Amino acid sequence: MTVITRFAPSPTGRLHVGNIRAALHNWLWAKKNGGQFWLRIDDTDAERSEERYVEAIRGDLAWLGLESVGEQRQSARTALYETRFEALRAAGHIYPAYETSQELDLKRKIAAGRGLPPIYDRAALNLGEEDHAKFAAEGVRPHWRFKLDYAAPIEWDDLIRGHQKFDAATMSDPVIRRADGSWLYMLISAIDDVEMAVTHVVRGEDHVSNTALQLQMFAAMGATPPAFAHEALLVGSEGKLSKRLGSLGVDAFREEGIEPEAVRALLARIGTSDPVEPVTDVTRLIETFDFARFGRAPARFDDAELAGLNAKIVHMLDFDAVSDRLPQGMTRAEWEAVRPNLKTIAEAADWWQVIEGDIAGTRDPADAAFLTEAARVAGGIDWSADPWHALTAALKAATGRSGKTLFLPLRRALTGRDHGPDMAALLPLIGRERAMARLGGG
């Protein structure tokens, strides 16, 4: 069996971090099993779907390195849906209903007042031909519901949650098509999964009850359902669902200088028993991906953890991987000198300015004589070997300074900062003339 997974976003907005996690996990599972990962654009909501969001979804997946074997568009599959719909209607699995949203809301309130579950009472099944003809004459078009089989048990072994069991009699027959003919998610998603031969569906635990309903739809179509894995939802660092997670996406990550490797490394592991590590080789994430390692507790997404992970990954990136994103003229030597102090690649530009540009070094008046002496010494040392240690050794012997009183005034004068890359690596890049000018206050 070829493992086939799919990511099926609706192009009504940008992907958020929860969507990205679902896409990643479907992709990882397909990759681990040598299978196929498909992108399916669920764009049947014509009013809200926009092509710019389709392009954004493609771009986001490309940035994350989640390549698909192909793309399907629900808007191009309406003939298939009509065929399946008519077959299910002819077999008695679908029926028309006419209640307005206000009428349904009233029914739910009455049921709640009687201590009953707020499920649909199937009143539409009692309508006769005359009733349907009357509605048609009045121009009232029906919406369509899938008729659940109350006698059939709904059970499956979820790859994360274990054995699941639902009683169909406690659930409403789901509306699958609106009165205007447009489709709702439930049925056409199941049809697509059948037609695309999807073998595994990885999605959030908020879809568990949807899965219970869809299993009866698969059965009505005479199809074998996919295996399902319902993962715990993401929560913010404060331990609860966060509005920020609903807006945080690839565009925000890129704006903050987060690398795709960091996003993959974090989202592949949070909520599992595996440690979150700075993994740049996605093969390691693929090899260790296992639903058995997923927990039931909410997966905590922490911005600080992502930022820290990103810094560690930046420290591992080779010059060839980032050269096109560095300031013009920056070579491997400069990159390797400043890399250990970067949180994002964009910060390399700041250190390039320190190395090559004009900076305003900070100087304590009490260190004026010391720095004048440092400028004189810098002019006489051998710059072809290790100028930093030659400079500090000569200054220590000449002035008696050591430790912080020796090193900090030099760093401040040479870089304008109290902290930064190893000066032994940085000073040769600054060079003799610039160093002497900065030490001398020029």
**Residue positions forming the annotated binding site for ATP:** 243
- CB under 8 Å to 220, separation ≥6 — which residues? 88, 91, 93, 146
User: Rounded distance, CA 392 to CA 406, Å?
Assistant: 7
The count of other CB atoms within 10 Å of the CB of residue 415 is 22
The count of other CB atoms within 10 Å of the CB of residue 374 is 27
- CB under 8 Å to 96, separation ≥6 — which residues? 124, 132, 142, 143, 144, 145
Question: CA of 185: how far to CAs of 113, 177, 190, 294, in Å?
Answer: 30, 9, 9, 27
Q: Which residue, 90, 80, 92, 104, is CA-closest to 187?
A: 80
Tokens 């998603």, located at residue: 189
Q: What is the largest CA-CA distance in the chain?
A: 109
User: Rounded distance, CA 140 to CA 147, Å?
Assistant: 21
Query: What phi and psi values does residue 28 have, to the nearest 5 degrees?
Result: -60, -40
User: Rounded distance, CA 186 to CA 189, Å?
Assistant: 6
Query: What phi and psi values does residue 230 have, to the nearest 5 degrees?
Result: -105, 110
Q: 403-415 and 387-399 helices cross at what angle (nearest 10)?
A: 130
Return the structure tokens found at 393.
């050794």
Question: CA of 182: how far to CAs of 47, 173, 377, 404, in Å?
Answer: 11, 18, 81, 72
Residue 32 exposure: Cα atoms within 13 Å on the Cβ side: 17
User: Rounded distance, CA 349 to CA 355, Å?
Assistant: 10
Q: Which residue, 65, 58, 30, is CA-closest to 201?
A: 30
Characterize the bridge pairing of strands 200-204 and 175-177: unpaired
Q: Please state the residue numbers annotated as binding site.
A: 243
Q: 210 pairs with which residues across the strands?
A: none
CB 319 within 8 A of CB 271: no
